[in-house]
Amino acid sequence: MRVRPATIDAAGMSENLEGIALTKTYGETVAVTHALAGVDVSITPGESVAVMGPSGSGKTTLLHLLAGVLRPTSGSIRWRGRDVVAMSDRERTRLRREEFGFVFQSGQLLPELPAEENVALPLMLAGVRRAEATQRARGWLAHLGLAGLEQRRPGELSGGQAQRVAVARALVGRPGVVFADEPTGALDRRTGAEVMHALTQACAATGAALVVVTHDVEVARWCGRTLQVRDGRIVPEAAPSLQELGEAR
């Protein structure tokens, strides 16, 4: 596959999120399953990338490796010049909390907390004072069209509203990368489009890169490029997104 050119900072260090020769296997001897088999990928700052593939293709495994949730069996992962694989569990937890954001299919909001506290919680866990965390949370909720709903709990919100709360939570810490795993999978098509619009616009506004795992081509079309994963490998010729087709006209 064609490797994306690295973005270099003033110190000469790559700002990209890079996975190099990534493999991930499960099991032993004859029962080995190869979830990923030598994948190279590079995500540049501010770009949006959809990762598509059938169930069992390895797309979610790739997301979990890049996000530091799993360790690869072999290969390396680098983020802003740092070796993610060499980090301790505590260092990777801090990395995910302070530099990455996450949006899941079901939102995974805490049901007993109102929207603003769900959004503010990651900041407070990172040591931000409650008053500042709450102010930033309210700002993001307003930005995503949820002003006036700050005190509603997840069960009092529609599916689309709850997912926008999840988007606010992912962006409130000013992450460098947002990882979204089937972010519209539990929504109807119209609501899913609204959530993807909110997610892509929010990432663009902050300069965060966006990595979206999806099986839905309509979701993938919101991203700048698409990677197709099959049998643990990235297909060399990925289908172009609407944005790429538009640029080619």
pTM over 0.85: yes
Task: Quickly list DSSP for 165-213.
Answer: HHHHHHHTT--SEEEEESTTTTS-HHHHHHHHHHHHHHHHHHT-EEEEE
Q: What was the pLDDT predicted at 248?
A: 43
Mean pLDDT value of segment 87-91: 96
Q: What was the pLDDT predicted at 28?
A: 79
Residue owning tokens 């700050």: 150
Sign of the dihedral defined by the CA atoms of residues 174, 178, 183, 189, in that order? positive
Domain residues of the chain, as ranges?
Answer: 17-248
Q: Which of 15, 46, 18, 17 is nearest to 202 (CA)?
A: 46
What's domain 17-248's architecture?
3-Layer(aba) Sandwich (3.40)
Q: What was the pLDDT predicted at 3?
A: 47
Return mean pLDDT, the chain: 90
